Amino acid sequence: MASIYAGSTVTIAATMSVSDLEGFTALSPPEHISRKFTYLSETGIPHTFHARKTLAHGHTPKPYPLLTRGWVLQERLLSPRVVHFTRDEIIWECMERTTCECGCIRFLWSPGWVPFNKNLLHEPNLSMMSRAELNATWHQIVQEYSRLNLTFSRDRLPAISGAARILSQFQGSAYYAGLWRASFVRDMMWKRHGSSQKSKKLDKTPSWSWASINAEVTYNEDAITTTEMVAVMDIIMEPIATNDQFGTVRGGLAVLSGFLVSSHQVRAMLRLDDQEGDLYRALQGLGALSLDVDEYSVAESNIYFFKLSVQTLVSSKARNQEVSIILLSSGSGACVYRRVGLLERTFEGPQPEIDIYKDVDETTTVSIV
């Protein structure tokens, strides 16, 4: 797919259509059809011009039906040129500009209400990017992609595989279910967007991957520096197609070494009683807690916290952030866990006022499935 769209001259998109039953052409509303006017100059020479009402599409962000579909994101990113057929007019999208027949549009809105950046996966941009910029580009693509809709949840990785395949030529790094080996720790620092959004775990995809939930995810890109607190020991994948690292997987295992603390230790440190839910409430008071699953579907007694990094944030003050993933004992063996959330704690100074890792002196090797 990557080579087909990337090698095309132009891609024609039925952007206004909800399905293929609607086609891609339509009659414009009468008020939007240009009319012919003729007048005579002072010398009696006839002049003709065409005019129509100005469309409001340049002022109201509203994604077209096609642009809300997950597969379409990489098709737009890879295609050098796209012609969009909409209800009112034709829209042109290429590497230099986005414009329409009336000239009002300067960009097409994405479902996240941000302008779509078509240059992300094209030269000379990619070859000029640093490692950090490549990581940020991938995070931007993942965030935008996760907002979109898929008919089948099993397509969560295949529907972005073309974009990953192009980026891999510049990453120089192995790809594991939506994460890159060279930036694996940072790529794990995703979180579900919006606590009210329902999220479902996808059984076959490893829990450390953003593709393991069918919900919108975000990354915090406000860090000036990031100190990783984890050593990546090994990553083992089981792709369905053995020769395609970018496609669907049957499972995966990440072996990491770092600081691990149990919920029992945190409870003792915070002097909490045994009331159900009080650990979540206490942690929300300490930082930003984001669960990949619904809040009360996880038993607190089996929860662990695993420190990923300490970051310096963009701020007028010296502000730092400690990022941990929340793990749940999988029950399939010692030190085998599933990721169920992310904890971000922002503080001033070298460490948080309440350091949940203060009594942890040695690293622990964990396997996350």
Give the per-residue pLDDT at 163. Answer: 94
Identify whether 124 is part of a domain: no
Q: Considering 63, 90, 119, which residue would you say is the last residue of a domain?
A: 119
101 and 238 assigned to the same domain? no
90 and 196 assigned to the same domain? no
Give the per-residue pLDDT at 115. Answer: 61
Give the per-residue pLDDT at 159. Answer: 96
79 and 205 assigned to the same domain? no
Identify whether 8 is part of a domain: yes
33 and 160 assigned to the same domain? no
Give the per-residue pLDDT at 318. Answer: 63
Give the per-residue pLDDT at 319. Answer: 86
Give the per-residue pLDDT at 64. Answer: 84
97 and 245 assigned to the same domain? no
299 and 191 assigned to the same domain? yes
The three-state DSSP-derived secondary structure of the chain is: CHHHHHCCCCEEECCCCCCHHHCCCCCCCHHHCCEEEEEECCCCCEEEEEECCCCCCCCCCCCCHHHHEHHHHHHHHHCCEEEEECCCCEEEEECCCEEECCCCCCCCECCCCCECCCCCCCCCCHHHCCHHHHHHHHHHHHHHHHCCECCCHHHCCHHHHHHHHHHHHHHCCCEECCEEHHHHHHHCCCEECCCCCCCCECCCCCCCCHHHECCCEECCCCEEEEEECCEEEEEEEEECCCCCCCCCEEEEEEEEEECEEEHHHHHHHHCCCCCCCHHHHHHHHHCEEEECCCHHHCCHHHEEEEEEEEEEECCCCCEEEEEEEEEEECCCCCCEEEEEEEEEEEEECCCCCCCCCCCCCCCEEEEEC
Q: Considering 96, 119, 142, which residue would you say is the last residue of a domain?
A: 119
87 and 199 assigned to the same domain? no
Residue 230, domain extent: 156-369
Give the per-residue pLDDT at 54. Answer: 72
What's this model's pTM, rounded to 2 decimal places? 0.87
Identify whether 130 is part of a domain: no
pLDDT, tens digit only, all 369 positions of the chain: 778 998 999 999 998 888 877 777 666 667 677 788 998 988 889 999 888 777 766 555 566 889 899 999 999 999 999 999 987 788 899 988 888 877 777 767 666 555 677 878 887 888 888 888 999 999 999 999 999 999 999 999 999 999 999 999 998 899 999 999 999 999 999 999 875 466 777 878 999 999 999 999 999 988 888 999 999 999 999 877 667 889 999 899 999 999 999 988 888 888 877 666 677 777 777 788 888 977 545 566 678 999 999 999 877 566 899 999 999 988 777 789 999 999 999 988 778 888 999 999 999 999 999
Give the per-residue pLDDT at 365. Answer: 97
**Domain tally, the chain:** 2
Identify whether 140 is part of a domain: no
290 and 190 assigned to the same domain? yes
Identify whether 58 is part of a domain: yes
Identify whether 148 is part of a domain: no
210 and 91 assigned to the same domain? no
Identify whether 229 is part of a domain: yes
